[in-house]
Structure 1
Amino acid sequence: MRIDPETVERIKQTAAVADVIGDYVTIKKKGANYWACCPFHGEKTPSFSISPSKGIYKCFGCGKAGDSVRFIMDIEGLGYGEALRHLAKKYGIDIQEEEMTDDQLQRQNERESLLIMLEFAKEFFKKQLLDSEEGRSIALPYFKERGFSDATIQAFDLGYSPEGWDVFLKTALKQGFSQEIIERAGLVTNKNDEGKVYDRFRNRVIFPIHSVAGKVIAFGARILKSDAKNQAKYLNSPETEVYHKSAVLYGIAQAKNEIRQKDVCYLVEGYTDVISLHQAGIKNVVASSGTSLTIEQIKLIARFTNHVTVLYDGDSAGIKAALRGMDLILEEGLQVNLVVFPEGQDPDSYVRSIGSEAFIEYIQKEARDVISFQANLFMKEAGDDPFKKAELIKEMVQSISKIPDAIQRSLFIQKTSQMMRLEEDVLLAEMNKIHLKKMNQRSAGSAPQSISPQNEVDMNALFAAEEEAPAEVQSLAFYQESECIRLLVNFGHLEVDPEKAPGHTLMEYLLHELEDVKFQTPLFIEILGICQQEFASKRVPGPEFYLHHGNEEIQRFAIDVSSDKHTLSSVWKDRHEIRVREDHEMLEDLAYKNVLRLRKVYNDQQLQDVMERMEKYAGDRNDMNDLLLEFITLKEIQKNISQELGTVIEK
């Protein structure tokens, strides 16, 4: 079923963007707009602008932009249809849906099909735990022994998969699910060469894994038989269309609001750690589910807080596992502390033994920033061995070099210098070597550079050099093309000159002037094509058409070109009696000159091409005359356009 367009429009009109975003972050009114600290990246100074009049938001820090629907899609990790349903439920709007054609049903999104299958599986496992004799006698006691209450079991949708080989498979098939979708959801597996299919999670307690939005996307399972041979203790769903374990954190759906409110995320290792802490009232906790911490997981945390405290087991293997992910967290700009529990304890056992208040006090007392933690750990390992100590100090500097903030790097260098009783210049020189090595690796064929404390490299300049490298090379005409599209998006519906040409819109003027022009930037080609289609259908859309467009890239461009980070104060203008002309007051001049500039860029490109062909030419003289004639023609065009624009050209 598909939501009909009228209902979609009603949802968008009702879901005021400031109201929707205000549920997630604190917003403050400033002039006509609202401002907030961006919920998508860590920041202390608000750069997240919300425009109620346009129904859009834009972060001038990370570039995130969209309308109320896009915000819900990004913050909750939902698809377009799911976000609309989320908002409809919030505002009490009845969903009117259209019947899908046979072709549309056939092309139904695989993601939604898998989510329906996984939701059914979750309910099956819960029912087996609570309502079956096998579940109540075998699985429920396991959860009760761990101290999990009925409310906690419900909050995390815990369940049980029975011992039979294909109990779930038969139940799902009986309910009308195809074997193909059951297999794609990772709920069954092939046992032998005959291709016989069996339930994947047999005789195991089930831990559903949820997306940020709370949808079940996978399962973790623990075996109950203590004498099971050749069977893994823990078993997880395989990767599917909806489950990518490197981008998922166990417990994030239950923890996200608490993480945002407490402004810190506790990171643990296992499912039961999360559940035990949650039951103890410590709800801002997630787990990496036994996998190595990934960039995607760290970025997921960064959507809700800039502070991470890692709570790992007190054994040496747990400590080493924790340290492996610290550099990744630092590199993403998050602030990270680490807590180690007494020998033989983990977060689950420790909170159950001492209680939540004492547990929080322990964390606050024992938390160490990663550099201090490394120093204490490494000093014990190195002892009096100067060579080993030097290697360990290099590892510390390597970690510090990952920190993107220059002030934080400097402070940690000072701290390390004091702890290790070394000159700061020595540590800075080592860090400079690390960054120079990284830059040299990026510059193929460049010779390594040496450095000494007396020849210290500007670390900020190094970071800036790395950050300024463009992701992709833009065409020479990018800016002129961008300006043409900006004018079409923001002012295409307005009359180009109401006095001289009443009734003629800027869209009509620009489409006529650009009729024989071939854009080079894919996004602008697409938007120009949309404008041509709309105009051919006798429609001249205003900015709202693009600001709320279904194509995220088009929507983001429209928001970018319609958002101003700074505006002139009306008080300042009135006090100094300064008249500032707005773009909409000089559309004809803006459009005319930009089209000329665009044509000049294209002409200059052709001119450069002809000159290169002339330099390399070694053929017939008549053909050379043709090139000379083409060169003269292009040079004359360049001259005429430059004179019209009032610019100077080379002779």
Structure 2
Amino acid sequence: MGISKITTDKVKERMDIEEVVGDYVSLKKKGQNLWACCPFHGEKTPSFSISPAKQIYKCFGCGKAGDPIQFVMDLEGIGFQEAIRHLAQKYGIEVEEEENRTPEQDLAFKERESLYIALSFARDFFVKNLQTAEGKSIGLSYFKERGFTPTVIEKFDLGYALDGWDHLLEAGKKAGFSEDILLKAGLILQKESDPNRKYDRFRGRVTFTIHNISGKPIGFGARILTKDKNQPKYINSPETPVYHKSDVLYGMYQAKKAIRDQENCYLVEGYTDVVSMHLSGIENVVASSGTSLTEGQIKLIKRFADQVTVLYDGDPAGIKASLRGIDLLLEGGLNVKAVVFPEGEDPDSYSRKVGTEAFQSYLKEHSKNFIGFKIELYQDEIASDPIKKANLIKEVVQSISKIPDPILRSVFAKEAAQLLEIGEEILHTELNKSLIKKQREEVKREQVEQEAEVAVKELLGEEVATSFQDILRIQEKEMIRLLLNYGAEQLDDEGLSLSKYLLEEVAELEFFSPIHQKILTIFRDFLKEGKTPTVDYFVKLGDPNIQKEVIDLISTRHEVSPHWHDKHQIFINSEESDLSQTGFKSILRLKRRLVQKMMEEAKEKLKQGEKDHSDEKKIQELQEIYFALKKVQVEIDKELGIVIG
């Protein structure tokens, strides 16, 4: 079963690129477009552009592009049908089914949906267990002891796993779930010595539901309440097809709006820290759940805010051991602050101890940027030990070098020099050394990757592009760009459009690039009916390769400010101001590249002919062809204003 075309059309009519992307990243308006840091790759300066007018997005960093449906597909890692379901749910559109999926696609989709349904069933099962006698006396009493209100318990889907081997397993089987799906969802375990023996993963523990960014349950964390030294305090769901720990932060679903509104994300360690801070009126908080920070988690924070404030328990030794996380956050393009609680306290215990107002005041008053925080942490040690002070200076320089923005690097370098009481020029010298070393390592790594890529292509027998092929692709790309942007524009009073002019000039040509040839063929087919295809036609064509290429070609990273004309009376010529000349020169450049390619081929044949001692007549013919092509090139060069000595 698949989604009907009626449903798909309704979603396409209702969806809005700004609303869809805005659910995941914080958008800022600049010119006609909206901009954000790309959610698909780590970057420090926003290069992810959203065009509300064209209903498309384009990242000028990693090249990702598409419409709202493609965005959901790329970000959630789901197929077209699932993306339509996701958007239909967002806009309250009823989903109508029809049979159009292959058996394999249907099977994969059903399994993924089954996992989500099984995890939702487990969530409901654990939540309902709080109303049982065992759940009330153990689970609910623990939450009440922590000060968790019924509202916050419901908000986070907190629950309790009954103390027994197969309570969830039996309930799941009665509800129609297979043991295989419960295993794949990470809800039950299989005994190694007896494959037929299966039992609940979570037993006799309070449960914390882990949600994805859309609010679906994808896993659980469970805390034991007894003092059994043979049992870990917390156990968590394993990696599954729907749960990837490195890309998830606990509480992000509940926090994303507040993070965007406050432009700051509090980062804590545990589940209870997140819940307690919500009770204190602070909702822009997420937890790494006791694991080391990953690149995926940092990207997730970066989607919603540029500022992160790390909250540390009052344990100096533990803080020093986890300082590497600050460097990772800085490298991810985030502005980093830190707050340390009094010794022996954590966000959960301290918020319960001092109350909401005092807790909020403490966060504001004790928030320090990472430089001040690091230096203060080692203040006592460096006061009497020059060696430790020198090591701290190197550590601080290392952290500053992680900051992508050169202006921020300079500001923090100046502050660090003042706090450490050393010359600013010395610190800058060390900083430059660190940056140069890092740059060399990056260049070397890129070089190795490029060489490896060429080697693999040669090993597989794939053709490595020559310079002429690359040049031709560029010129063909430029021709298609003009057709997409200005194809319907009229060049004269007699109705000659740019597309008609360009297509007539290249009527006998086949483009070297397959994707550009496809687009060219569509333009030719439309021209036969006296029409010009629109950008919207290509975006909605259903071919993801064409869609991406078209969006790449119509997206511009920079816009000319209207102030040049309106305020300063400075007029800047644009390509659309004289499309006749723009189209003419584009045709000439393409033909020039083709002529050069033909000349190169003729030259190679001449060399081969001389090497093989071919007859003089054949060699003379090749020479005549070469010089005739050279003459054509010279004529084209004159038209383009190219002078070659």
Give the letter for the 1:422 counterpart.
I
3-state DSSP class of the match of 1:313? strand
CA drift of 1:271 comes to 0.6
SS at match of 2:160: strand
* Equivalent of 1:566 in 559, 563, 573: 559
* CA–CA distance in structure 1, aligned partners of residues 19 and 200 of structure 2: 46
2-side partners of 1:427 and 1:581: how far apart?
46
* Offset at residue 48 of structure 1 (A): 5.4
Q: Taking structure 1 as reference, are residues 639 and 546 closer, same or farther at Cα in structure 2, changes over 3 Å only? A: same
* 2:220 aligned counterpart, secondary structure: strand
Matched with 1:465 is: none
- Structure 1 window deviating more from structure 2 (203-212 vs 184-193): it is 184-193
Q: Which residue of 1 aligns with 2:205?
A: 204
Which residue type is aligned with residue 108 of structure 1?
Answer: F
Give the drift of 1:328.
1.4
Match of 2:475 in 1: 480
Query: CA deviation digits over 1:254-279, x for unaligned, max 9?
Result: 00000111111000000110011112
Letter in 2 for 1:325: G
Kept in 1, the 8 Å contact 2:127–2:160? The answer is yes
Are residues 146 and 528 of structure 1, via their aligned partners in 2, closer, same or farther at CA, if it must alter by over 3 Å? farther
Deviations 1:578-627 (A, max 9, x none): 9978749746x655643543343355456557768988999533399978
Per-residue CA deviation, residues 104-134 of structure 1 (Å, 9 max, x unaligned), is 523436543422232222222222333x333
What's 1:455 paired with?
none
| Matched residue, 1:38 | 36
The alignment partner of 2:180 has SS state of helix
Shift, 1:488, TM fit = 4.0
Greater CA deviation, 214-223 or 631-640?
A: 631-640
Change (3 A) 1:276 1:596: same
- Matched residues in 2 for 1:502 and 1:389: separation? 72
Counterpart amino acid of residue 387 in structure 2 = F
Deviation at 1:201, TM superposition (A): 1.7
For the 8 Å contact 1:596–1:641, the answer to whether it is kept is: no
1:640 is matched with which residue: 612, 632, 643?
632
Q: TM-score, normalised by structure 1?
A: 0.80
Q: 1:88, 1:173 → 2: CA distance?
A: 30
| Separation (CA, whole Å) in 1 of partners of 2:322 and 2:8 | 46
Q: How many residues align?
A: 614
Instruction: Say if 2:540 is the partner of 1:544.
Output: no
Counterpart contact for 1:255–1:285, Cα < 8 Å:
yes
Provide the residue aligned with 1:451 in structure 2: none
Q: Does structure 2 retain, via aligned residues, the 8 Å contact 1:312–1:322? A: no
What is the correspondence of 1:136-535 to structure 2 with a 5 Å cutoff? 136-195=136-195, 196-227=197-228, 229=230, 231-442=231-442, 475-491=470-486, 499=494, 505=500, 509=504, 512-515=507-510, 517-519=511-513, 524=516, 527=519
The Cα of 1:5 is off from its aligned counterpart by 2.3
CA distance in 2 between partners of 1:649 and 1:266 (Å) = 61
- Is the 8 Å Cα contact of residues 602 and 626 (structure 2) preserved in structure 1? no
Residue matched to 1:98: 98
User: Is the partner of 1:422 in helix, strand or coil?
Assistant: coil
How many angstroms does 1:3 deviate by?
2.8
- Per-residue Cα deviation, 1:325-384 (whole angstroms, up to 9, x for no partner): 111111222111111111110000001111121112111111111111111223323342
CA spacing shift, 1:619–1:253, aligned 2, 3 Å:
same
Q: CA deviation at 1:308?
A: 0.7
Shift of 1:518: 1.8
Deviates more, 1:636-645 or 1:601-610: 601-610
Gap change, CA 1:570 and 1:336, over 3 Å in 2: closer
1:496·1:509 contact (CA, 8 Å) conserved in 2? no
> Aligned AA for 2:221?
G
How big is each residue's C-alpha offset from its partner over 1:187-207, in whole Å with a ceiling of 9 and x where there is no partner? 222222332332222222221
Superposed displacement of residue 424, structure 1: 1.3
Contact persistence 1:2–1:97 (CA under 8 A): yes
Amino acid at match of 1:127: K
RMSD over aligned CA atoms reads 4.3
How many Å separate the matches in 1 of 2:192 and 2:26?
53
Which has the larger displacement, 377-386 or 566-575? 566-575
Alpha-carbon distance in structure 1 between the residues aligned to 2:331 and 2:517: 37
Q: 1 CA distance for matches of 2:488 and 2:60? A: 27
Contact 2:246/2:296, CA 8 A, preserved across alignment: yes
Once structures 1 and 2 are overlaid, which stretch shifts more, 166-175 or 19-28? 19-28
Work out whether residues 494 and 505 of structure 1, in 8 Å CA contact, stay in contact via their aligned partners in 2: no
Report the 3-state secondary structure (helix = DSSP H, G, I; strand = E; otherwise coil) of the residue aligned with 1:342: strand
List per-residue Cα deviations over 1:298-325 (Å, max 9, x = no partner).
Answer: 1111111111110021113431244111
Which residues of structure 1 form unaligned runs of 5+?
Answer: 446-472
CA distance in 2, matches of 1:10, 1:257: 27
Distance 1:628 1:332 in 2: 63
Normalized against structure 2, the TM-score is what? 0.81
**Structure 1 residues 422 and 8: CA distance shift in structure 2, 3 A:** same
How many angstroms apart in 1 are the aligned matches of 2:4 and 2:502? 29
Aligned equivalents of 1:623 and 1:224: distance in 2? 95
Residues 422-477 of structure 1, C-alpha deviations (whole Å, 9 max, x = no match): 111111111111122223334559xxxxxxxxxxxxxxxxxxxxxxxxxxx99333
Does structure 1 conserve the Cα–Cα contact (< 8 Å) formed by 2:502 and 2:583? no
Give the structure 2 partner of residue 467 of structure 1. none
The change in CA–CA distance for 1:277 and 1:631 in structure 2 (over 3 A counts) is: farther
**Residues 352 and 11 of structure 1: is their aligned pair in 2 closer, same or farther, counting only changes over 3 Å?**
same
Q: What is the DSSP-based 3-state SS (H/G/I as helix, E as strand, rest coil) of the residue aligned with 1:213?
A: coil
Q: 8 Å contact 1:161–1:202 — kept in the other structure?
A: yes
Note closer, same or farther for the CA distance 1:383–1:586 as it changes in structure 2 (3 Å cut).
closer
Separation (CA, whole Å) in 1 of partners of 2:188 and 2:87? 35
Specify whether residues 148 and 251 from structure 1 end up closer, same or farther in structure 2 by C-alpha distance, changes over 3 A only: same
CA contact (8 A) 1:209 1:250 kept: yes
CA distance in 1 between partners of 2:386 and 2:113 (Å): 59
